Amino acid sequence: MRIATWNINSVKQRLGHLTAFLSEQAPDVLCLQEIKCVDEAFPVAEVEAAGYNVAVHGQKTFNGVAILSRLPLEDVRRGLPGRDGLDEDGPDQARYLEATISTATGVVRVASIYLPNGNPPDTAKYPYKLRWMDRLSAHARELLALEEPLVLAGDYNVIPEPRDAARPEAWVHDALFLPQTRSAFRSLVDLGLTDALRACSDESGLYTFWDYQAGAWQKNNGIRIDHLLLSPQAADRLETTVIHKAMRALEKPSDHVPVSVDLKL
């Protein structure tokens, strides 16, 4: 079973890239982030024509997540438990979508996650990021207790280690790489989750995001912020993890590329 994640950075602008990826890589499940549209504006017809069922948790102009699956999506949950607003009275943000998929060998639970960026860190956005991560950890703990194959996939906006950045010194004051951010990510993983890429490779230079500015792509000045975290029941079935780097070289690409895992299910 191939499960992929991709911050597509506007599904409308990159619909052609999306349908090509579905055709060429044939993921069984694809988690999308930053779709940047409301539910009704998602290109459901085109995705269904490619052979996929769709669940969407959208938001106008910003954020938004979706799950595409060859098999029916069940038990769909939109939103992380608790408030998603910048403060207690703030508007909800479409950043979390979860569903189960019944396979021949049992149920797989998948979540599409678009974790807050948190910049600038001296504003309310950074405490919000940390609170959101705490809520994600609390929910992940509950999901792990179910003892089923679980894949928490998405754009975490976290650079876990210095080797996950071409120039880590450039990120030391950024919310993606601050000690509190990295500590919160480690706490999440330490619940019993496995970073799929690091289970398959210890190499440096493996990135999933290249900024549009300053020739970052041409210089390979990237960072790894898109992750698939696996429960023990999923990690035991992990075969490969692939970063689909070539997608960044397309015309008008997303600044992120898809990452996929193959699980023996």
Per-residue pLDDT of the chain (265 residues; tens, 9 = 90+): 999 999 999 999 999 999 999 999 999 999 999 999 999 999 999 999 999 999 999 999 999 999 999 999 999 999 998 765 554 445 679 999 999 999 998 999 999 999 999 999 999 999 999 999 999 999 999 999 999 999 999 999 999 999 999 999 999 999 999 999 999 999 999 999 999 999 999 999 999 999 999 999 999 999 999 999 999 999 999 999 999 999 999 999 999 999 999 999 8
What size, in residues, is the chain? 265
Question: How high is the pLDDT of residue 81?
Answer: 86
CB 243 within 8 A of CB 208: yes
Summarize the annotated binding site as residue ranges: 7, 34, 155, 157, 255-256
Question: Catalytic annotation on 122?
Answer: no
Q: Is 101 helix (H, G, I), strand (E, B) or coil?
A: strand
Q: Write the CA distances from 117 to 25, 76, 95, 157, integer angstroms.
A: 28, 25, 11, 6
How far is 153 from 260, CA to CA, in rounded Å? 9
The domain total for the chain is 1
Q: Determine which one of 17, 57, 139, 155 is catalytic.
A: 155
Q: Between the CA atoms of 6, 9, 11 and 15, what dihedral angle is there, to the nearest 10 degrees?
A: -80
Of 195, 207, 256, 262, the catalytic one is: 256
The pLDDT value recorded for residue 87 is: 47
Burial label for 11, CB within 10 Å (0-12, 13-18, 19+), is: buried
The answer, yes or no, to whether the previous bond of 127 is cis (omega within 30 of 0) is no
Note if 256 is an active site residue.
Answer: yes
Q: Quote the domain boundaries for residue 110.
A: 2-263
Instruction: Write out the binding residues for Mg(2+).
Output: 7, 34, 155, 157, 255-256
Residue 92, pLDDT score: 73
Task: Determine which one of 114, 126, 128, 156 is catalytic.
Answer: 114
The residue to which tokens 């309310």 are assigned:
124
CATH number at residue 13: 3.60.10.10
Catalytic status, residue 17: no
Cα 141 to Cα 224: distance, rounded to the nearest angstrom: 24
Give the global pTM: 0.96
